Each structure stands twice: as C-alpha cells, then as structure tokens.
Amino acid sequence: MKRRKVKKQKYWILILAVVIVLCVGAVYVWTHSSTTAQGRTYIQEQENKKVDKISEKLKDKKSSEMEAAIESGKVDVFALFDDAVIFGDSRVMGFSVYHFFPESHVFASSGATIKNISDWVEQAKNANPSLIFFSYGVNDMGMNIDAEEGGYDGQYESQIKKIVEVCPDATIIVNSIIPATPAAVQKSPSWGNVDAYNTKIKSMCEKNKWIYVDNSEISQNGNANIYQNDGIHFLTTFYSTWAENMIMTVRND
C-alpha cells in the first residue's frame, strides 16, 4: 500500500511539474512574441520616418530644380498649364490677352465676380481639365458679396462645387486676392478688405481640401512693381511670376 501511495504522489508531482514547465514556457513564448512584435513595430516606424524624410528631401530638391529651370528659361512655365483652366475677372483675362494661355483655357470676363463661375459650367465640363484655378476679388469686394447670405466663403464654395460636379477628378486651386495699390485703395476703400476676404478663402480651401495660393509675397501687399497705371491690373511681365507661384504651390502641396 505504501509503495502504491508513494508512486501515486510521484505521479501527481510529475504532472504538476509538467504543468509548471508548460506554463512557464507559454509565458516565455508570449512575452518573447510580444517583445518581438513591439520591436518589429518600432523598427518599422523608424524605417517609415526615414522614408518620409527621404521623400521630403527629394520633393524639396525637385521643387528647387523646377524653380531653377523655370527661372533660367529651360522650362516654359506656361507649358505646365497644358491641362489646366483658370476662372476669373479682367485680371485673369490677361493670360489670354497677352497670349500666355489659349483662350479656350481662360474662363474670365471683365467685371466678373465669383457669381459668374456657374456661367462656365458647360465649358469646364467639355474641357475636363486636371487642374482648375480660380482668381477673383476686386469686383467681389466692390459689390460687398461678403455681406450676402452665407458670406463670401459660403458663396464662393457653392459656386466652385458646381464646377466640381462636372469635373470631379480635377484638382481645385484657389488664388488669394491680389491687392490693388495703396493709391487705388485710397480711391476705392472697399479694395482695402483684402486680408479679411483672403482669410475666408484660405479657410474655405482648408475645409474642402482645395489648394490655396498665397500671392502676398509676389504682390508685396500692393507695393510691387507689377501694376498698370490704374493700380489694379497687371503688367505683362507679372503673368509669368504669377503663373510660377501658382504651379509651384500645386507641386509643393
């Protein structure tokens, strides 16, 4: 009996030992696997950061090279608008008047405001461009569209979306309003509301994930040597600078 009892005790001790070994092994495997997974995740995150940094550097390098090529004349900036159209007023008309863009790419008229965007829906649909630029402002401020229902940004947004409906795959790019000269603003104070209007345009673009083109630097807040005698419209030489600012903003976005 004693021998059987001893054997039985040894048997249960052996089972308990096996269970303990299995539990310890399982904990080790789980811990090791978890640590390995964390290690792999960490390594992957570091690799992704390296790739992002490299991509950013390459992007900056390409942008610098493109800028240099445009400035040196090796690349015609207007050729980069081959699959683009631009909406706007008499300022925008200069792109076709001075033969920088084909007339079929310029949806603009003298005295136009953002309310005229929908006048060009069919033309935009037929053109089916990859890039669609918008540039309005001086006439809008003169009419005080911001005081109307929905505000300036609400009115602008609803008009642009009419174009998006017929050109759903196009990239939308909206220019900041280029200010008039201080002398012109003195004659027509409504043109002095550029900053308030541009704040709304930028916010509208951020909301809809549209590209916003900041033209403040190239216009020097109305003090740059880019204006005709009226202080509103632009010299021929300015259009290449403006076009470069637009296309580089798109490339850097």
Tens of pLDDT, residue by residue over 139-164, are 999 999 999 999 999 999 999 999 99
* Cα 200 from Cα 197, distance rounded (Å): 5
Per-residue pLDDT for 59 more than 90? no
* Cα 77 from Cα 243, distance rounded (Å): 7
- Calculate mean pLDDT across residues 152-181: 98
* Cα 205 from Cα 194, distance rounded (Å): 16
User: Residues 88-140: pLDDT tens digits?
Assistant: 999 999 999 999 999 999 999 999 999 999 999 999 999 999 999 999 999 99
* Cα 17 from Cα 11, distance rounded (Å): 10
Strand segments (E) across 82-225: 84-88, 106-108, 131-135, 171-175, 211-213
Give CB contacts under 8 A, 24+ apart, made by 207-212.
207/157, 208/157, 208/160, 208/172, 210/160, 210/172, 210/173, 210/174, 211/171, 211/172, 211/173, 211/174, 211/249, 211/250, 211/253, 212/173, 212/174, 212/176, 212/249
- Axis crossing angle, helix 90-97 with helix 238-252, rounded to the nearest 10: 100
Sequence-distant (≥ 6) Cβ neighbours of residue 144 within 8 angstroms: 190
Q: Judge contact between 180 and 223, C-beta under 8 A.
A: no
Task: Please tell me the predicted confidence (pLDDT) of residue 8.
Answer: 52
Lowest model confidence (mean pLDDT) among 61-65, 85-89, 127-131: 61-65
Q: Judge contact between 79 and 57, C-beta under 8 A.
A: no
Q: Which residue has the higher pLDDT, 70 or 196?
A: 196
Per-residue pLDDT for 238 more than 90? yes
For residue 48, name the pLDDT band (cuts at 50, 70, 90): low
Instruction: Name the class of domain 77-252.
Output: alpha beta
Task: Please tell me the predicted confidence (pLDDT) of residue 104.
Answer: 95
* DSSP SS3 for 172: strand
Q: How far apart are the first and last CA of the chain?
A: 88
Task: Please tell me the predicted confidence (pLDDT) of residue 204.
Answer: 98
Q: What mean pLDDT is reported for the chain? A: 84
For residue 39, name the pLDDT band (cuts at 50, 70, 90): low
